């Protein structure tokens, strides 16, 4: 919807009121509309002078901070490149390969509010975030397919638990990650933002392990052969009319896998599909009683297998697995493989881009690897007592 931004619209109000309101009688300032009186008062020469002085102070402080922060984050990037090069050549990563100082945080004056009306630039129109209804519509229109929803939440949990255990996830990993990701109360179709009283989706992250549309596309591309094999086996042992339904689902799954594999196997290419109706249709499989548990399982299992392939044979704790789930396998493994003594000293900033770090109060407050893992464990402990987490634990 194309509306004039609120702040810009308000700058037009005083003139509109002057043209529409009756003239003030006898120079009575009280007869002027309140918005106009306030605008006139704010725009006094003294107010403007104060604003310009404060703006200059803010700009000077901000420029000094940006210079310091820019140098710091350049060093973070340089150290990260160095660690990656060392790992590629089989060299040991040491404490010297990390930035051990914490990043600067801006503590200077805030940007002052301009007392004079000013135009604000048009904000770019946000792309709508698809919700369950959109996913179902895309699956119906593109594949003539409606995901088979579970008869109950417990049914989905039981299927997920069976498949997760058979695939190599542990009960502790699955339940504690679920507790962290959903607060220990989430349903199989819970979406980020539409939970705990929330009314608006903030991303496409859905389900027990909060898959994005891009995750669903990527998993279909990379693990689709396993999904097809498992569903084919179920088709073979299912008699009667139910078999026909499963055969149709299998055909749809094969079509989705083929489409996901039709582009290079990179996150950016899968993201492009994820932002289309085709990707929404694929994401609808998260809701299906047969395919959904496989997608949820492999969202975590790929991290376990990645760590194993890199020579890390010790079982991942749930908190370590969550680090890989949140930050990506390569970055997460960097934290996971770190000895405890180093975890106590290495700042979390080493694993973020500047923008992501400065918007992440948890990483700022719990500012070493050890502290971040500890707060993750603490939240898993706390949320693990909630009803959904207890029910999932029972399903194992």
Burial of residue 124 (CB within 10 Å: 0-12, 13-18, 19+) is exposed
CA 273, distance to chain mean position in Å, is: 17
Q: Which of 2-6, 111-115, 213-217 has the lowest mean pLDDT?
A: 2-6
For the chain, which residues make up each domain, given as ranges?
6-42, 132-395
Query: What pLDDT, on a 0 to 100 scale, did the predictor assign at position 38?
Result: 52
Q: Which of 81-85, 298-302, 329-333, 386-390 has the lowest mean pLDDT?
A: 329-333
Longest Cα–Cα distance of the chain, Å, equals 92
pLDDT top residue among 382 and 328: 382
Percent share of the chain, pLDDT over 90: 73
Pick 132-395's CATH classification: 1.20.1730.10, 1.10.530.10, 3.30.465.10, 1.10.10.10: 1.10.530.10
* Average model confidence (pLDDT) across the chain: 88
pLDDT top residue among 84 and 29: 84
Query: What pLDDT, on a 0 to 100 scale, did the predictor assign at position 247?
Result: 97
Cβ neighbours of residue 323 closer than 8 Å, sequence gap 6 or more:
332, 335, 336, 372, 373, 376
Helices (H), the chain: 6-20, 34-42, 45-88, 132-143, 153-167, 171-182, 213-236, 241-260, 267-274, 277-283, 291-309, 318-327, 329-336, 340-343, 354-358, 361-365, 369-383, 387-395
State the sign of the Cα–Cα–Cα–Cα dihedral 394, 313, 214, 138.
Answer: negative
Q: Which of 64-78, 83-97, 218-232 has the lowest mean pLDDT?
A: 83-97
Helices (H), 261-290: 267-274, 277-283
Q: If we measure between CA atoms, which residue out of 126, 79, 128 comes closest to residue 103?
A: 79
* Alpha-carbon span 207 to 286, nearest angstrom: 7
Backbone torsions φ then ψ of 376, nearest 5 degrees: -65, -45
Residues 90-139: pLDDT tens digits?
Answer: 899 999 999 999 999 899 999 999 888 777 777 777 788 999 999 999 99
Residues 144-167: pLDDT tens digits?
Answer: 999 999 999 999 999 999 999 999
Query: What pLDDT, on a 0 to 100 scale, did the predictor assign at position 13?
Result: 30
Query: What pLDDT, on a 0 to 100 scale, did the predictor assign at position 245?
Result: 94
Percent share of the chain, pLDDT over 70: 89
Residues 342-395: pLDDT tens digits?
Answer: 999 999 999 998 988 888 888 899 999 999 999 999 999 999 999 999 999 999
For 107, the 3-state DSSP assignment is: coil
Cβ neighbours of residue 219 closer than 8 Å, sequence gap 6 or more:
211, 295, 298, 299, 302
Q: What is the mean pLDDT of residues 270-282?
A: 97
Residues 16-74: pLDDT tens digits?
Answer: 222 233 333 344 444 445 444 454 455 688 888 999 999 999 999 999 999 999 999 99
Query: What pLDDT, on a 0 to 100 scale, did the predictor assign at position 1?
Result: 38
């Amino acid at each position: 919807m194309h509306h004039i931004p609120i702040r810009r619209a308000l700058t037009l109000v005083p003139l509109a009121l002057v043209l529409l309101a009756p003239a003030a009688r006898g120079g009575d300032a009280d007869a002027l509309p309140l918005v106009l009186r306030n605008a006139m008062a704010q725009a006094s020469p003294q107010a403007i002078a104060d604003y310009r002085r404060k703006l200059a102070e803010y700009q000077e402080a901000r420029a000094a901070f940006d210079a310091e922060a820019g140098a710091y984050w350049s060093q973070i990037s340089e150290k990260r490149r160095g660690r990656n090069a060392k790992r590629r050549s089989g060299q040991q990563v040491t404490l010297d390969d990390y930035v051990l100082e914490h990043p600067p945080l801006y503590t200077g004056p805030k940007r002052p509010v301009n007392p004079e009306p000013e135009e604000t630039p048009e904000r770019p129109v946000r792309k709508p975030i698809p919700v369950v209804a959109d996913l179902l519509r895309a699956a119906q229109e593109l594949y003539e397919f409606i995901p088979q929803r579970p008869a109950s939440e417990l049914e989905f949990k039981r299927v997920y638990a069976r498949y997760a255990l058979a695939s190599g996830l542990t009960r502790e990993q699955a339940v504690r990650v679920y507790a962290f990701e959903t607060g220990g109360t989430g349903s199989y179709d819970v979406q980020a933002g539409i939970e705990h009283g929330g009314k608006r989706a903030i991303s496409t992250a859905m389900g027990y392990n909060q898959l994005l549309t891009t995750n669903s596309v990527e998993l279909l591309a990379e693990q689709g052969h396993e999904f097809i094999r498992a569903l084919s086996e179920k088709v073979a042992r299912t008699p009667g009319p139910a078999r026909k339904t499963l055969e149709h689902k299998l055909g749809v799954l094969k079509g989705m896998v083929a489409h996901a594999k039709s582009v290079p196997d990179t996150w950016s290419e899968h993201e492009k599909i994820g932002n289309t109706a085709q990707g929404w249709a694929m994401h609808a499989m998260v809701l299906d009683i047969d395919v959904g548990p496989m997608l949820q399982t492999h969202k975590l299992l790929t991290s376990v297998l990645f760590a194993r392939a890199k020579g890390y044979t010790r079982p991942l704790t749930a908190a370590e697995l969550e680090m890989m789930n949140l930050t990506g396998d390569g970055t997460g493994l960097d934290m996971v493989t770190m000895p405890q003594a180093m975890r106590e000293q290495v700042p979390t900033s080493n694993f973020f881009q500047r923008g992501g770090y400065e918007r992440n109060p948890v990483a700022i407050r719990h500012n070493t690897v050890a502290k971040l893992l500890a707060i993750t464990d603490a939240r898993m402990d706390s949320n693990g007592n909630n009803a959904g987490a207890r029910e999932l634990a029972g399903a194992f």
